[in-house]
Chain A
């Protein structure tokens, strides 16, 4: 029997930022929503990012746990940083 495929094409609208590439000299944002994994790793990640990847500075931001960031925060972040870590797998 022939039937129609219920699956679909993905939206062509691009939502993704360009890849970062080389981190040497970059200013990196670490955006934590309060999950324990973000808190624990956040305390340790600055050192390896600087020594291993040459990141110049890691800036830490806290965002609400269940809603969008306060107005202006993303604009500040985009202005002050070259890249951002916004999530870590549990």
Chain B
């Protein structure tokens, strides 16, 4: 028996959408009406109790039950087979290591970025290849959107109100893709995080949007020199704190160049860490509104965008041409990558 309050709205779709917008329960885009039948189908797929608690979502400290998540997943346009990923993502976001309260309320344009690994990618049709960051692919679009709607409706994180993000960011509508594990020369990300390759997982990052890099060079050193040039700007929040988790998403074309040249992810990270250091002497000395971690450092020192080379995240996804790479600047909260196993129903 579902316990949520029943709301009576207009029958005509356009009027219903307007009614839901006025209630403040959408992201501004049309939603699927979460009827009892739709929501029950979502819950039946996972076989969990509707009142089972998955997480408490800040800042409103709303309880994300299976039923409430199912309602938001229906609204986002999810198919029931996507729902286990939504649940796992919310579980990951509720992990205290992730720092969701800060992400929900900061002036920063940061947003959770979801990366899906393992067999479930193929089972539910998650796009890991060309155009994986959207638009056009239902699993990617609606899983990401379901999570964002849940953060809005369950976490009570109203944009322009308790969400203080100065500009917001398009990735706050949805930001979800899969890793193209099959075309990677390296272990997939979830294996790096301690899971088995045959497990399905979702990882959550705090990302500030996508920065494209056109990298036409064909040797690893030249590619990394170019990538580092795009990452090296001291207005990036990560440099203010020195604790970012920068993410590089390279297509299989670039990954192949590194793989064939014998470069592993560790070596790439070490090289990028070295190349992205910024001499403090190149930064103005005036006071900043928020004191940077380097405020009282010797001017002869350099600053980094993360604490250690290992904090740089390397993923393989996207189309095959070795032209474009994506840099997703990380937020400056430490330890903010959390990977959660997706529990797939056995039926």
Contacts and interface: CB of A to CB of B under 8 A. Distances in A.
Contacts, number: 98
A7 B10 contact: no
A1 B153 contact: no
A20 interface: no
Interface in B280-297: 287-291, 293, 295
B27 to A, nearest CB: 11
Given A2-B8, A65-B293, A66-B332, A11 B39 contact: no
B211 to A, nearest CB: 22
B33 A3 contact: yes
Contacts of A9: 62-63
Interface of A: 1-11, 13, 15, 34-36, 39, 65-67, 90
Q: Pick from A2, A6, A35 the residue with the most CB of B within 10 Å.
A: A6
Interface residues on B, range: 35 or more
A65 B288 CA distance: 13
Contact of A36 (B35, B71, B243, B290): B290
B4 A13 contact: no
Interface string B106-146: 01000000000000000000000000000000000000000
Q: Pick from A8, A9, A36 the residue with the most CB of B within 10 Å.
A: A8
A39 B287 CA distance: 12
A3 to B, nearest CB: 5
Contact of A8 (B149, B153, B293, B334): B153
B36 to A, nearest CB: 6
Contacts of B16: 1
Contact of B4 (A5, A15, A39): A5
Given A1-B33, A3-B35, A36-B289, A65 B241 contact: yes
Contact of B25 (A7, A36, A39, A66): A7
Interface in B148-171: 149-150, 153-154, 156
A67 B241 CA distance: 10
Contact of A65 (B5, B56, B75, B290): B290
